[in-house]
Structure 1
Amino acid sequence: MNIWKWIDDLEPELRAAGHQELAELMRELPRAAASDRHDRVDALAPVALALARAARLPWVEVFVRHWHLQSRVLHRAQGDMALGEAVALVDFSHGEAARGCPQAVCTVQDLAACYAWVDGPGYAPERIAVSRETLSRIDPSWPCYACISNELAGALRDQDAPQACIDFLDEQRRVMAPDRRELLPQRIGALIQLGRVEEALAACQEAIAHGRGDDHARRARRIDLARIYARMGRAEDAMREVPVPEDILPLPALYGIYTDAQVQLVAIGARPNDRALDRLLQRFITRLEAQGSFDGPFQLAADAVDLACRRGSPAVARLHLATMERLATKLRRPLDRLDRLARARLSLETAESQPVAARPSDPEDILRVRAAASAARPGDRVLARRHAATLFDLGFAGESAALLERLLAERPDLDVARLLESAYLAAGESDRHRALGERLLAAGDDASRRVGRWISARRLARLGDLAGSNEHLVALATDARDAVAARLLHARNAREQRDWPVVLRLIDEVLALDPNLGGGVHHCDRMLAATLLGAWDKVRDSAARLGMTVAGDSGPIDERWEVCKIRVVHPDGELQDLWARRSGPCTAKLLEISSLRYPQRHGDQVAFDSLGVGDEPGPNEADPPVMIYAELATLARGGYFAFRIDGVHPGEAALAGLRRVVEAHRGALQVQSGSRYRVVSPEGSEHPGLCAHIVYPADVELARAAAALDAHARTLPGPLMWPELAEAAGDDETCGRHLRLVGAWGLDS
């Protein structure tokens, strides 16, 4: 069955039955997963699942749970962490309640992929068997036929049988439609394994040109190009394609191929074999292992051992070797991983037998020195803490935590506890983090309880239990040693809760305790809270402390400051940076017409975080950067309605006249298209195009505004179309005429 046709057929039925939100979520979930917006998937899936169950629609429940697993397993590489849900969904989708569900086959893919992350080679025989059985009972025209074929191909590659994988893919190509290209990624990987890089490059280029075009697929193919070019010795091409680490860190499914690209770049001298690369690999390993994926991080740790030995850092290589040994015990079938473990041990022995040149400023050599010093004097807390801090700085959070736990068990220490918290967080050790706080809270001495309160307060705040965090902070604030720090964290929690009176009260209390308090963040929070509460004297006070000049001595602040951009969050979570003009330290008016897919934001008065989230170059080279601020509250709605105009560009003079007609009815027109935008007439002639957005305030008489626009447009050399505006104005004749023009000119209005 074509799953997307099922969705197309189901959507109007859902809407007719009053399930509009569910219908929208069923469209949004796959889009969010494919574009790697996984926080959005996690937010939408529980809502959609609750709606599907309330409507008693088991097929829709399978759909929702499947797409959540696609995000968790295929994109985020969750192994054991997702295995229970993957097994449960297969059972549910093949049970009586969901009998005949078109996505039941897809749940088999979810489960097979989950086992692949746990131990790909170890579960390969079972994955091959279930994939072949599933393929035997579905039609090659179904989309899921390609998905299951990919799982089988991946299992063959995990068995180190790339040629068998190629043979299978050739067989599948013969039975699938000739324009289906979903199997190309597995072909690329197998060809790379076989060393057939020219063929791999051709397959990769075909996938880029004709394969999936979503964000995740584009990133993966760019990495494949980098891997291939590096093997071909084309360093410049490879470096151009490889994404920056920040783009890959949220996507564990890409860690393996990204690491391969980096290793190959090191091999041809295109990037350094340095601490930054080792720290990146350690972050990859930590996240994958925390998610219950074991073979992938084993292979990454083996690469890390080789790299560390080659750059003369045996102390780091030994840590990675210990990771390999730990992960090997979690694999279902160790298979050839034992051979790789033996080779890693031999590499380390060889590296340790070489003379080591002292590198006093190299953190990896500092680790060697501090590890040796700590081992020589096991009772020295200062040396042990330095050793733990160096381990943490190099990315070995778990190893750092083990040392710090011993120190904290010997004596309560806030500095050690704070570092241990960071190590737990970096290592994904949430259970141990919680247990540590509880154990110290239950201790009989005040020093331990104080440390336990701080650990628990910070942990609960990170988990979003702000009320629980605040209980500990109120108790801590009674101690003079913690009075300022506890209030500041409490104020940060209150800001997350949008409890602006509490934010303002707590920061005022801190200023009373420490009148010389530095740190712009506290005064930015104070200005924001005071603005929202109308406490303009306090806005002016904090602004002055931060060096801002504000006119007047009292009353609301509504000035004309510099232009900026405000980052708004639309109802579905999409972000958009809109041009605005600041009207005060943390207020602005939005000037740009926002996306027409959402309620219009033009003219809105907003409050923002004055710390800013970044900047971008000004419109001209000599202009200062334009600051970007995140909206935190809407103070007043502009109340505008927006519409699209599309068609033939009338020329700049006529466009200025069109803008004057719009402005005469208190509207605004903003051009969206560039100089290369073209439209094609029904006769096939090409013309410069114009796509623009216009807005009118809610109280304008749209019929008169639209009529004036239409009268002016009739004087122009080519047609301009605005069917939505005509419809809103109640002009059915003009709306129909414009819709016909839209169809004739092939424009998507």
Structure 2
Amino acid sequence: MAGLAAVWDTVGDLADWLPMDVDIWAWVGDTQRELQETGNAGLAMALADVPAQALEGRYGQLDVVAPAVAQHAEALGQPWLELFVRYWHLIGRVGDRANGAVALGDAEALAEFAKRDDVRDCPAAPAAVEALAITLANTDGPGFAERRLAALGAVLDGVGPDSLAFSGLATQYVAALRDADRPEEAVAYAEAAVDRLTKAGREASWELGAESARALLAAGRPDDALTALQAATGFKPDDPVAKGRREALLISLTLGTLGRVQEAVEALPDLDVVGDHPREWVEWTRTVSLLFTSGAIANTWQLGRILRQWIIYFETMGGHRARFELALAAGHLAVARQGVWQARLLAAQAEAALGDLSGTEGLPERIAELRAAADEVSEVPAPGPQDRLVELFDAADGSTADPERWVGWFWPYAGEDLEITRRHATTLGFLGYAPLGADIYGKLLTEDGDPAQASAEDIAYLTSLLIDAGRDDRVESLAARLSDDASHLTLARLYRARERWEETAAEAERAVAADDTPEARRMWSVAVQQLGDNARAAEIMMPLFESGEGEEEDSWRLIVLASAGEDWATVRRASAKLNLPVQSSEGPIEEEWHLIRAILPAPDGSRREVMAVRTGPATARLVIPQPRGMEYNAGDVIVFDPRPLEPVPEDPEQENFVIPFAGVTMLRPGGYTSWFFDGAAPTEAEWTDFNEMLAERGWPMWVYSDEHYTVTHPMTGELLPGVFGWIAVPSSVEPAELDAVLDDATEQWAHPIAWLDLAREVGVEVERHERISKEYGL
């Protein structure tokens, strides 16, 4: 079938550029065929897509699909398949996402799994050690350098340059030598590896060339590093998706090291390019630290806030060395901004990371240098005396105010003056220092004072800081000291943040009973909706709507909930309040408004975009047939969240722009069943007649193939334009009727179309459709 044919193409494409032994791709193809023949077509398709998910950043899919495939492979007694999928899932974590200690156990387990008697001969087995080396480098590159060298060296002893695994293993070996502070050896090893590859008729990967350039930089040879990068630019990358930004970043660092600042700035990838790629963060920060002194790179509080977010990410992922390096770099940048308080905090954070590092030689001295630099800088003077700071802060222009400076100006009075402490602590939280803000604020409210006497505003702010800081136990302790209404509201906030919906619903309901506030009622409704009771969630929102205290967002929310519960009278009331153009006055709202793009979940964890006709304020009918296995199909009516997922562009684009909305729930299934077709494309006139015939019957059809899809002429071997897609028919149409209609409609075409699954369902001409599929390579 075409879907499977597309996977064969993917295997061929992957074999061209992924860093695994060529034998593994032959094995992948053979395994796919075996899985297909034994009725595991879905597993066969997933097998080739998992590597693409890892490299293309489709992590939502990868984290769902890969464990399921690995578990299935184990159940089938396919250890090579299990190794292959576990490897690519791990690469998806430790590659671009740069997971460190959190992935180390899995990396070690995979390396051990690859040593099993029934696995060690798998062509993918050496890659398990490569993945372990990457994970160790992410955790603490220099600290684990010798361990990496030992593990990689043992594998490289048995892998020659004729293997596609060689280049990736050699790249990691060069990186480990550099981290071991042996840059000249790293350069020599890289050159020798390239020479061995050349003699074997193979080309080095771009990553090996890039690692050689990093080694040259570490050896104090930036001119040679730039030359190496230029020589490597045409090499085939192991990760083609990332190559462009990684190459630009390394060129920028090299040019900056050479003092060619303007060229370096021009080459540097923008923050929005690297912001979603943790693997690049340390090198990007190092480059920015080199370039900001020129004035071409803005050293702002926004940069400091982003670096703090990156540090928090690596704290979470166990990137201990990365968090140390980022804390020091961010600290020196803070010094340059006269952010003394922040530089000192960052020095303390760098010091805290030392306990997680395996090697710390020279690191305490670097921390001391940062502290000394901070001591030599004076804070910018405050804009006024203590008694005017709150007034000046509240009057400051939010678009130009510098929150870092305000934290410094508030600091001498924080913990004593409540108004100052509130602003100081919440601003600390905004800048990424929620734990510290919570400590200062919490001491004033709960240790020096009685939280039961604190304002609702202060309790809300403190609760938010504690939640952001991960101090759940302190939120619960705070709640225990509050009045009933405030206690229940505080716990509901915590449980909602942690998505503990049953507890959220219970505490929010108690909060409403004690003091019916809009926030408590909203949380109660959200929790009940999450627990699956849309009608009850709408009932909970009604008093807020009827009181007039609700906001526009509450009316929209009520529309969604009431639509899901088919309470059309309530939908009309809320719609009237929003001036929505509902035409009908009673019964279900089933109008024809405009096209939308419904964003719906797919079984593999991804999101799928489906065209639909909006039939009401928050309902739409899907119009595109979906492949088998989806939980929705053409004809289904869904409820969607009416907040657009993308801004509507300004004219003149607006006229043709189809707004995307997130699907919420199925309202009514349409009862349609989809059937797959595949084959050589007919003439334009034949295709027009075919479409018109299906449209007359009300049977939706959608072509999923693109202009590049081809099939093979069975006689000449010529590549012919192909077409594949799905036709959906309602429950009133028997499969035999569709089979007969398709047979009549296509019998005069120059080349036959196959609908193998439908033929098998009907039990008619199955062999003919199997023959077409085989002869045309469908």
Same fold (TM over 0.5): yes
Find the counterpart in structure 1 of residue 478 from structure 2. Answer: 440
Find the counterpart in structure 2 of residue 258 from structure 1. Answer: 284
Q: 2:623, 2:700 within 8 Å by CA — same for their partners in 1?
A: no
Cα drift, residue 374 of structure 1: 3.6
Find the counterpart in structure 1 of residue 595 from structure 2. Answer: 563
Q: 1:367, 1:387 within 8 Å by CA — same for their partners in 2?
A: no
Residues 686-741 of structure 1, C-alpha deviations (whole Å, 9 max, x = no match) = 99x68575635252733443344435645xxxxx7643479749567975786588
Cα drift, residue 236 of structure 1: 8.7
Find the counterpart in structure 1 of residue 16 from structure 2. Answer: none
Q: 2:209, 2:228 within 8 Å by CA — same for their partners in 1?
A: no
- Aligned-partner residue type, residue 571 of structure 2: V
Residues 1:464 and 2:492 aligned together: no
Residues 1:187 and 2:212 aligned together: yes
- Aligned-partner residue type, residue 183 of structure 1: L
Change over 3 Å in CA distance of 1:476–1:294 after alignment to 2: same
Residues 1:286 and 2:312 aligned together: yes
Find the counterpart in structure 1 of residue 5 from structure 2. Answer: none
Which of the numbers 419, 423, 426 marks the counterpart of 1:382? 419
Find the counterpart in structure 2 of residue 626 from structure 1. Answer: 658
Residues 1:723 and 2:760 aligned together: no
Find the counterpart in structure 1 of residue 230 from structure 2. Answer: 202
Find the counterpart in structure 1 of residue 269 from structure 2. Answer: 242
Cα drift, residue 602 of structure 1: 3.3
Q: Runs of 5+ in structure 2 lacking a partner?
A: 1-20, 385-391
Change over 3 Å in CA distance of 1:740–1:272 after alignment to 2: same
Question: d(CA) in 1 for partners of 2:717 and 2:558?
Answer: 61
Change over 3 Å in CA distance of 1:212–1:109 after alignment to 2: closer
Change over 3 Å in CA distance of 1:154–1:669 after alignment to 2: same
Cα drift, residue 71 of structure 1: 3.0
Q: 1:665, 1:705 within 8 Å by CA — same for their partners in 2?
A: no
Residues 1:347 and 2:373 aligned together: yes
Question: d(CA) in 2 for partners of 1:736 and 1:57?
Answer: 28
- Aligned-partner residue type, residue 527 of structure 2: N
Question: d(CA) in 1 for partners of 2:40 and 2:746?
Answer: 38
Q: 1:35, 1:214 within 8 Å by CA — same for their partners in 2?
A: no
Find the counterpart in structure 2 of residue 295 from structure 1. Answer: 321
Question: d(CA) in 2 for partners of 1:649 and 1:260?
Answer: 58
Change over 3 Å in CA distance of 1:211–1:88 after alignment to 2: closer
Q: 1:662, 1:705 within 8 Å by CA — same for their partners in 2?
A: no
Residues 1:636 and 2:657 aligned together: no
Q: Which moved more, 1:367-376 or 1:162-171?
A: 367-376
Question: d(CA) in 2 for partners of 1:622 and 1:354?
Answer: 48
Q: Which moved more, 1:551-560 or 1:674-683?
A: 674-683
Cα drift, residue 600 of structure 1: 7.7
TM-score when scaled to structure 2? Answer: 0.79
Q: Which moved more, 1:563-572 or 1:143-152?
A: 143-152
Change over 3 Å in CA distance of 1:156–1:57 after alignment to 2: same
Change over 3 Å in CA distance of 1:483–1:47 after alignment to 2: farther
Number of aligned residue pairs: give it: 724
Change over 3 Å in CA distance of 1:19–1:230 after alignment to 2: same
Residues 585-607 of structure 1, C-alpha deviations (whole Å, 9 max, x = no match) = 11112234557996883333222
Find the counterpart in structure 2 of residue 156 from structure 1. Answer: 177
Higher relative contact order (CA 8 A, sep 6+): 2
Residues 1:319 and 2:331 aligned together: no
Residues 1:123 and 2:144 aligned together: yes
Question: d(CA) in 2 for partners of 1:668 and 1:710?
Answer: 17
Find the counterpart in structure 1 of residue 11 from structure 2. Answer: none
Q: Which moved more, 1:676-685 or 1:223-232?
A: 676-685
Cα drift, residue 127 of structure 1: 1.7
**Equivalences for residues 679-718 of structure 1 within 5 A:** 693=725, 695-697=727-729, 699=733, 701-710=737-746, 713-714=749-750
TM-score when scaled to structure 1? Answer: 0.82
Find the counterpart in structure 1 of residue 6 from structure 2. Answer: none
Cα drift, residue 582 of structure 1: 0.8
Q: Which moved more, 1:676-685 or 1:70-79?
A: 676-685
Change over 3 Å in CA distance of 1:24–1:645 after alignment to 2: closer
Cα drift, residue 397 of structure 1: 2.9
Q: 1:667, 1:697 within 8 Å by CA — same for their partners in 2?
A: yes
Find the counterpart in structure 2 of residue 407 from structure 1. Answer: 444
Partner secondary structure for residue 653 of structure 2:
coil
Residues 1:554 and 2:580 aligned together: no
Question: d(CA) in 2 for partners of 1:88 and 1:577?
Answer: 37
Question: d(CA) in 2 for partners of 1:727 and 1:55?
Answer: 28
Residues 1:488 and 2:522 aligned together: yes
- Aligned-partner residue type, residue 705 of structure 1: V
- Aligned-partner residue type, residue 311 of structure 2: I
Which of the numbers 62, 76, 81 marks the counterpart of 2:97? 76
Cα drift, residue 425 of structure 1: 5.4
Question: d(CA) in 1 for partners of 2:660 and 2:446?
Answer: 46
Find the counterpart in structure 2 of residue 497 from structure 1. Answer: 531
- Aligned-partner residue type, residue 142 of structure 2: P
Cα drift, residue 198 of structure 1: 3.8
Question: d(CA) in 2 for partners of 1:159 and 1:708?
Answer: 72
Which of the numbers 586, 590, 595 marks the counterpart of 2:618? 586
Change over 3 Å in CA distance of 1:87–1:277 after alignment to 2: same
Find the counterpart in structure 1 of residue 432 from structure 2. Answer: 395
Question: d(CA) in 2 for partners of 1:191 and 1:468?
Answer: 57
Change over 3 Å in CA distance of 1:241–1:311 after alignment to 2: closer
